[in-house]
């Protein structure tokens, strides 16, 4: 079978792992690098250079971080041409990272999330932060892997932070304010179809973010049934079959869904579990491509 991986971030180590496992399963592999997505239309014919040499039975779409709407249209066209595609519902969402949309979806489904505020004016930041209660976390709505996430401890610090954002010409709607949850456990739950894996993420010294990509340590974590069910409900609320669900558990055993990652890393989970997560993903993509 010929399997292609379409991505706008070909350098991701997970993409290399996918290539390795496709080949280990004795399939032909082709990387479709859409990082420099471009096209021409000549005499009514659309030509996308990156797709001209595509020869695949199945296309796995993963890690589309730019040109999402036109690429989604091209993915739909691949299906019309009879090529099976696994895109983890990208063409339906038309976004890879949108924490505002995901937070709304989680809340509408009754999934517990930290108290949050999404505002269109910096004038409202201080009052909303005070209502939530300091410290607060301010996070970019369009960045992942812990980037663009800041802890603000006081109103004075918030004023300075807002001034910094203004100087950088950042818009208030590019960030969201959330309650800082004093967690005991920060968990990444990786769900691939019916397979569920969990690891505890431990932040480095002086760091409140526990992301593996930021140098945090990871260790295997044994999920109880209620946490497993909550993570599955969160993933289904976003309408995906593959995703990384970030769960915070407090000392009084309250559970919060921090976010659901559409393009969850695999390497940290492989390290924590000693499982071949990339192969599970490839097999799931082949089975569920349509």
Minimal CA–CA distance to 265: which of 211, 226, 210, 221? 211
Whole-Å CA distances, 63 to 11, 175, 222: 10, 22, 28
Element (H, E) at 162: helix 155-167
Domain ranges of the chain: 2-93, 115-179, 183-283
CA geometry: angle 252, 138, 182, nearest 5 deg: 15
More confident residue, 206 or 270: 270
Alpha-carbon torsion (104, 107, 109, 112), positive or negative: positive
> For tokens 């999330």, what's the residue?
113
Q: What is the CA radius of gyration of the chain?
A: 20
Whole-Å CA distances, 121 to 95, 171, 282: 24, 8, 44
**Cβ contact 174:142 at 8 Å:** yes
**Cβ contact 232:196 at 8 Å:** yes
**Cβ contact 282:22 at 8 Å:** yes
Q: Does residue 121 carry a pLDDT above 60?
A: yes
Q: Which residues contact 224 (CB under 8 A, 6 or more apart)?
A: none
**CATH class, range 183-283:** alpha beta
Q: How confident is the model at residue 170, as a pLDDT?
A: 92
Q: What is the pTM of this model?
A: 0.91
User: Tokens representing 25?
Assistant: 């399963």
What is the distance between the alpha carbons of residues 177 and 167, in angstroms, rounded to a whole number? 19
User: Tokens representing 115?
Assistant: 């108290």
First to last CA, the chain: 15
The CATH architecture of the domain made up of 115-179 is 2-Layer Sandwich (3.30)
More confident residue, 213 or 38: 38
DSSP three-state, residue 19: helix
More confident residue, 232 or 205: 232
User: Tokens representing 215?
Assistant: 């140098």
Q: How confident is the model at residue 207, as a pLDDT?
A: 60
User: Tokens representing 6?
Assistant: 């379409």
166-214 residue pLDDT tens? 999 999 999 999 999 999 999 999 999 999 999 999 876 656 665 655 5
The CATH architecture of the domain made up of 2-93 is 3-Layer(aba) Sandwich (3.40)
Q: What percent of the chain has pLDDT over 90?
A: 88
Give the mean pLDDT of 130-137: 97
């Amino acid at each position: 079978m010929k399997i292609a991986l379409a991505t706008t971030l070909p350098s991701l180590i997970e993409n290399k792992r996918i290539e390795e496992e496709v080949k280990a399963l004795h399939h032909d592999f082709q990387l479709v690098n859409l990082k420099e997505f471009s096209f021409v239309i000549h005499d009514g014919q659309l030509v996308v250079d990156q797709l001209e040499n595509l020869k695949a039975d199945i296309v796995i779409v993963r890690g589309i971080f730019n040109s999402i709407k036109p690429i989604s249209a091209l993915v739909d066209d691949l299906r019309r041409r009879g090529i099976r595609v696994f895109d983890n519902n990208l063409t339906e969402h038309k976004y890879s990272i949108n924490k505002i949309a995901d937070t709304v979806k989680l809340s509408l489904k009754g999934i517990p999330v930290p108290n949050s505020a999404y505002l269109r004016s910096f004038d409202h930041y201080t009052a909303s932060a005070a209502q939530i209660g300091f410290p607060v976390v301010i996070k970019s709505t369009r960045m992942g892997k812990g980037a663009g996430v800041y802890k603000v401890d006081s109103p004075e610090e918030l004023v300075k932070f807002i001034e910094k954002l203004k100087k950088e010409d950042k818009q208030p709607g590019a960030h969201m304010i959330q309650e800082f949850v004093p967690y005991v456990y920060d968990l990444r739950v990786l769900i691939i179809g019916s397979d569920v894996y969990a690891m505890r993420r431990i932040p480095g010294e002086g760091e409140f973010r526990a992301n593996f990509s930021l140098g945090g340590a990871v260790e295997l974590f044994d999920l109880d049934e209620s946490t497993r069910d909550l993570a599955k409900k969160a993933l289904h609320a976003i309408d995906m079959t593959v995703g990384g669900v970030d769960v915070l558990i407090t000392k009084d055993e309250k559970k919060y869904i921090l976010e659901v990652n559409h393009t969850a890393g695999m390497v940290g989970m492989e390290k924590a579990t000693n499982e071949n997560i990339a192969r599970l993903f490839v097999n799931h993509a082949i089975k569920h491509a349509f």
